[in-house]
Structure 1
Amino acid sequence: MASRGDWSLSFGRRLREARDRLRLTQEQFAELGGVKRVSQHLYEQDARVPDLNYLLRLKEHGVDVGYLVLGSSAGHSAATPNSTDIYVAAYRTVDEFARDDAGNPLPYAERERFFSFLCATLSQTGTPESSTELKERLVRFMRP
Structure 2
Amino acid sequence: MAGRPRKNPEFPPPPPETLGERLRDERVRLGLTQEHLAEILGVALSALQNYEQGRNTLKTPVLERLRRAKVDVDYVVYGRDAAALEPLDADLWERVKAWDAANPNDADGKPLNEYSRYQRVTLFYRWLREDSGSQGEVEERLSKLLRSRAA
Query: What's the TM-score bracket when you normalise by the shorter of the two chains?
Result: 0.5 to 0.7
**How far apart are the structure 1 equivalents of 2:45 and 2:55?**
14
Deviation string 1:52-102 (CA, Å, 9 cap, x unpaired) is: 1111112112111111111112222336214495x8326779xxxxxxxxx
Q: In the alignment, what sits opposite 1:137? A: none
How far the C-alpha of 1:21 sits from its partner, in A, is 1.5
**Counterpart selection for 2:42 from 34, 46, 67:** 34
* Runs of 4+ off more than 4 Å: 90-93
**How far apart are the structure 1 equivalents of 2:65 and 2:13?**
24
Q: In the alignment, what sits opposite 1:80? A: 93
Tell me, yes or no, if structure 1 residue 89 matches structure 2 residue 91: no
Q: In the alignment, what sits opposite 1:122? A: 124
CA contact (8 A) 1:19 1:26 kept: yes
2:116 maps to amino acid: A
Identity %: 31
Q: CA RMSD in A?
A: 3.2
Tell me, yes or no, if structure 1 residue 24 matches structure 2 residue 37: no
2:70 maps to amino acid: G
**Counterpart selection for 1:69 from 65, 71, 77:** 77
CA contact (8 A) 1:52 1:91 kept: no
How far the C-alpha of 1:41 sits from its partner, in A, is 0.5
**How far apart are the structure 1 equivalents of 2:81 and 2:47?**
24
- The alignment covers a number of residue pairs equal to 99
Structure with larger RCO (C-alpha < 8 A, sep 6+) = 1
Q: In the alignment, what sits opposite 1:140? A: none
Unpaired segments of 5 or more residues in structure 2? 1-11, 101-113, 129-140, 143-151
